[in-house]
Amino acid sequence: MPRSTYQLGLGFVGKFAVLLILGFLLLPVAVVTIAAFNDRAILSFPPQAWSLRWFAKAIAYQDFRDAFRNGLIVTAWSSTIALLVGAMFAFALDRYRFRFSKLIEAICCRRSSFRISRSGSASSSSPRRSAGAAVSRWWYSATSCWCCPS
């Protein structure tokens, strides 16, 4: 069905609003990134010369090195814990039925909940699956995003 002029205008305005918001959010990041490579103490834009002086000064501070190391340790541990807990939760969600499991599956937006048969009809996946299919389902569930488009 063709779109009306109103719908096309709304689509244009929506895209423009998204670009405006992204520009508003990313412009400070770009300015700070460029300023980090500036050779002068006072911000001059565009920079007259490029330098790594500010990075060398930051690395020279023991507090910065300690904080950076602590940040790496926290990142490694939190990523590992999140992966393990997410994988265990996805495995339990795939293998067992419990109260609100269907709701949790709907919130997690698991695309593999329904399979399209060759005839084109959607059918719920059977409770008995092969080990390979189950592993791929819970791995997909553990690694999928919360806002899948389909």
Output the DSSP codes for 110-135.
-GGGEEE-TTS-EEEPPS---HHHHH
What is the value of pTM for the model shown?
0.49
Q: Are residues 81 and 127 in the same domain?
A: yes
Total number of domains in the chain:
2
Q: Are residues 42 and 75 in the same domain?
A: no
Domain boundary among 60, 80, 102: 60
- Within 8 A by CB and 6+ apart from 117, the residues are 123
pLDDT confidence of residue 14: 84
The 10s digit of each residue's pLDDT in 49-98 is: 888 988 998 899 999 999 999 999 999 999 999 999 989 988 888 888 88
H-type alpha helices, the chain: 5-36, 53-60, 62-95, 101-108, 131-143
Rounded to whole angstroms, how far apart are CA atoms 124 and 105?
Answer: 13
Q: Are residues 56 and 69 in the same domain?
A: no
Full residue range of the structural domain in which residue 38 is found: 1-60
